[in-house]
């Protein structure tokens, strides 16, 4: 269950599953492109899990989290935080079940995107650009993406399959053996629902504005997702986006340069006052549910309405202006990350910002804490600011009751016997002991990782 995902004990077991080992090309992407987006703990955890998956001979082999604690030299909260960051970047999927009062986790390793797919992904490339800067971003793209020879001046003289192989009835009428294998294969890749990104922006109007310009219409359509991500983060209107697109379009082929567009948006809105909303228009794909504000106070209604009416950048700028502060570059990257994932409605992201800065009284957004809260809300299927408000109240009430119960029963707790799984007669399967060779190999890799971190 979602509420149990945050619970983790040292003796909880885990199983590692990977469809295949990552290729050298993907490994290069992992160490070069994903590394800047990961903490040292997250990167070390990922490398350890991949190494352990190579040593695992059966998917039923279990390990305890004590092994990870010893190898990584970190505590349980750090493991949960590192695991969450890997999940957020699509490098890990975590599943959980309860067995005799113990938790059994399934860690399904996901192959990273290769450099070509990484740079084609608007969200990943935008995150990387925000972390390493434009010059390093360009250097990596030129170094990792191989330039292909143009094929339009050549003729394709390749042989066909039928030239060398006889395609009999076994291809048309597939044998049972093939059917059984194909049936056993399951889809492992799922696209992220990015519908929540498309907010408060008329893309058709933008296309009409650019219809009489030199901008290629097909290129505009190909970059629609990038445009929608950027305008959502910074609250850019159609007219301003049209000017940015024109400035980012090549005069040679009339096509939009995605890197140039990202760079111009970043330069135009990083550290400057964002486009202000008029406060009257709500996102076209997101509106306040009927009767959602009925049970709220006047102040709560105003806050909820503002989360729907404003872009994330405009919303945090407004909060910071009221407090006499300013939005930092790191905070803008945090918001870019949340919006780019497409997992939370914009109104909920705005409410999270309000909850963190105003309700908790923190001067700036903290990336680790914000991601922890966002991850918790996503797992609990929070879809509206009102649901987020109710969820916070429920958590606070549960915490209050827990503290009261602990105060009343702390003496009784000391007399309770150990749970069944902690006794010698536990029925659960004994986790596998890792052989010394595997421990030695992983420890050597961790030393290399730590030495790289010190050098960098």
On whether both 95 and 20 belong to a single domain, the answer is yes
On whether both 92 and 14 belong to a single domain, the answer is yes
Lowest mean pLDDT among 62-76, 188-202, 349-363: 188-202
Find out whether 100 and 52 touch, Cβ atoms under 8 Å: no
Alpha helices in 22-162 (DSSP H): 24-29, 40-55, 65-72, 76-88, 115-120, 122-132, 134-144
Among the three residues 47, 79, 113, which one is the final residue of a domain in this structure?
A: 113
On whether both 23 and 91 belong to a single domain, the answer is yes
Lowest mean pLDDT among 151-155, 289-293, 334-338, 375-379: 289-293
On whether both 310 and 370 belong to a single domain, the answer is yes
Position 275 scores a pLDDT of 38
Residues in the chain, overall count: 456
On whether both 308 and 353 belong to a single domain, the answer is yes
Mean pLDDT of 108-122: 87
Position 124 scores a pLDDT of 86
Sheet containing 102-109, strands listed edge to edge, beginning at the edge strand earlier in sequence: 63-64, 13-18, 102-109, 92-99
Position 381 confidence tier, pLDDT thresholds 50, 70, 90: confident
Any domain includes 124: no
Position 245 scores a pLDDT of 92
Position 259 scores a pLDDT of 85
Q: What angle do CA 62, 68, 73 make, to 5 degrees?
A: 165
On whether both 41 and 92 belong to a single domain, the answer is yes
How far, in Å, CA of 80 to CA of 82, rounded? Answer: 6
Which one, of 431, 405, 413, 285, lies nearest residue 345 by Cα?
Answer: 285
What are the pLDDT digits (tens) for 120-136? Answer: 888 888 888 888 888 88
Question: Is the pLDDT assigned to residue 86 strictly greater than 90?
Answer: yes
What is the token pair recorded at 229?
């991500």
Position 447 confidence tier, pLDDT thresholds 50, 70, 90: low
On whether both 305 and 261 belong to a single domain, the answer is no
Among the three residues 389, 418, 437, which one is the final residue of a domain in this structure?
A: 389
Any domain includes 219: yes
Residue 118 CB partners (closer than 8 Å, separation 6+): 29, 33, 34, 112, 124, 125, 128
What are the pLDDT digits (tens) for 196-246? Answer: 454 567 888 888 888 888 888 888 988 888 888 787 777 788 888 898 998
> Measured over all CA atoms, what is the biggest interatomic distance in the chain, rounded to whole angstroms?
84
On whether both 307 and 380 belong to a single domain, the answer is yes
- Tokens 């010394």 appear where? 436
Position 190 scores a pLDDT of 38
Any domain includes 237: yes
What are the pLDDT digits (tens) for 159-174? Answer: 776 666 665 545 445 6
Among the three residues 46, 78, 113, which one is the final residue of a domain in this structure?
A: 113
Find out whether 199 and 346 touch, Cβ atoms under 8 Å: yes
Question: Is the pLDDT assigned to residue 268 strictly greater than 90?
Answer: no
On whether both 255 and 318 belong to a single domain, the answer is no
pTM across the whole model: 0.40
What is the token pair recorded at 43?
């990167």
On whether both 9 and 102 belong to a single domain, the answer is yes
On whether both 315 and 384 belong to a single domain, the answer is yes
Number of domains into which the chain is organized: 3
The sign one gets for the Cα dihedral 68, 70, 72, 75 is positive
Task: Give the distance, in angstroms, between the CA of residue 215 and the centroid of all CA atoms in the same chain.
Answer: 32
Any domain includes 274: no
DSSP 201-245: --HHHHHHHHTTSSS-HHHHHHTHHHHHHHHHHHT--HHHHHHHH
Any domain includes 286: no
How far, in Å, CA of 322 to CA of 329, rounded? Answer: 18
Helix, strand, or coil (residue 345): coil
Domain CATH for 28: 1.10.10
Position 42 scores a pLDDT of 92
In whole numbers, what is the pLDDT of the chain averaged over residues?
Answer: 75
Position 60 scores a pLDDT of 66
Q: What backbone phi and psi angles, to 5 degrees, belong to 238?
A: -65, -40
Range of the domain at 230: 195-269
- Tokens 């999927």 appear where? 93
Question: Is the pLDDT assigned to residue 419 strictly greater than 50?
Answer: no
Mean pLDDT of 87-107: 87
DSSP 418-430: PPGGGSTT--SPP
DSSP 267-326: HHHTTSPPPPP-SS---TT--PPTTTTTTS-HHHHHHHHHHHHS-HHHHHHHHHHHHT--
Find out whether 29 and 118 touch, Cβ atoms under 8 Å: yes
- Kind of pairing between the strands at 102-109 and 13-18: parallel
Mean pLDDT of 427-456: 59
How far, in Å, CA of 199 to CA of 426, rounded? Answer: 53
Mean pLDDT of 8-32: 83
Find out whether 68 and 48 touch, Cβ atoms under 8 Å: yes
How far, in Å, CA of 200 to CA of 238, rounded? Answer: 10
Any domain includes 402: no
Position 276 confidence tier, pLDDT thresholds 50, 70, 90: very low
On whether both 30 and 97 belong to a single domain, the answer is yes
Position 59 scores a pLDDT of 61
How far, in Å, CA of 351 to CA of 390, rounded? Answer: 12
Alpha helices in 37-93 (DSSP H): 40-55, 65-72, 76-88
Any domain includes 310: yes
Any domain includes 285: no
What are the pLDDT digits (tens) for 33-61? Answer: 999 999 989 999 998 998 888 776 666 67
Position 37 scores a pLDDT of 92
């Amino acid at each position: 269950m979602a509420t149990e995902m945050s619970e983790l004990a040292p003796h909880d077991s885990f199983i590692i599953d990977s469809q295949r080992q990552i290729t050298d090309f993907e490994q290069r992407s992992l160490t070069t492109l994903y590394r800047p987006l990961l903490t040292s703990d997250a990167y070390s955890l990922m490398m350890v899990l991949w190494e352990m998956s190579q040593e695992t001979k059966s998917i039923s082999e279990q390990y305890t989290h004590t092994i990870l604690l010893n190898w990584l030299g970190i505590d349980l909260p750090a493991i949960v935080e590192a695991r969450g960051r890997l999940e957020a970047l699509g490098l890990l999927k975590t599943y959980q079940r309860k067995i005799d009062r113990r938790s059994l986790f399934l860690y399904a390793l996901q192959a990273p995107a290769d450099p070509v797919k990484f740079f084609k992904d608007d969200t990943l490339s935008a995150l990387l650009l925000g972390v390493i800067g434009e010059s390093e971003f360009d250097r990596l793209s030129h170094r990792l993406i191989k330039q292909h020879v143009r094929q339009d001046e050549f003729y394709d003289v390749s042989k066909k399959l039928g030239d060398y192989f006889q395609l009999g009835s076994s291809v048309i009428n597939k044998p049972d053996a093939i059917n059984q294998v194909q049936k056993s294969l399951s889809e492992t890749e799922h696209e992220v629902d990015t519908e929540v990104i498309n907010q408060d922006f008329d893309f058709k109007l933008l296309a009409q504005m650019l219809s009489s310009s030199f901008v290629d219409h097909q290129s505009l359509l190909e970059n629609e997702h990038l445009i929608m991500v950027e305008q959502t983060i910074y609250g850019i209107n159609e007219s301003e986006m049209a000017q940015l697109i024109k400035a980012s379009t090549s005069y040679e082929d009339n096509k939009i340069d995605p890197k140039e567009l990202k760079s111009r948006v970043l330069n135009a809105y990083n550290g400057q006052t964002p486009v202000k909303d008029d406060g009257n228009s709500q996102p076209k794909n997101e509106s306040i549910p009927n009767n959602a504000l009925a049970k709220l106070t006047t102040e709560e209604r105003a806050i909820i309405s503002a989360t729907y009416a404003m872009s994330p950048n405009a919303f945090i700028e407004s909060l910071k202006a009221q407090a006499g502060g300013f939005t930092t570059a790191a905070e803008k990257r945090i918001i870019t990350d949340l919006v780019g994932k497409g997992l939370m409605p914009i109104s909920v992201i705005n409410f999270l910002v309000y909850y963190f800065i105003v309700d908790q009284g923190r001067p700036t957004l903290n990336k680790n804490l914000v991601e922890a809260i966002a991850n918790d809300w996503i797992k609990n299927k929070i879809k509206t600011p009102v649901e987020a408000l109710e969820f916070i109240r429920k958590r606070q009430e549960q915490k209050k009751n827990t503290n009261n119960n602990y105060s009343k029963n702390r003496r009784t707790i000391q007399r309770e016997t150990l749970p069944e799984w902690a006794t010698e007669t536990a029925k659960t399967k004994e986790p596998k002991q890792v052989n010394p060779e595997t421990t030695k190999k992983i420890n050597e890799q961790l030393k290399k990782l730590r030495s790289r971190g010190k050098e960098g």
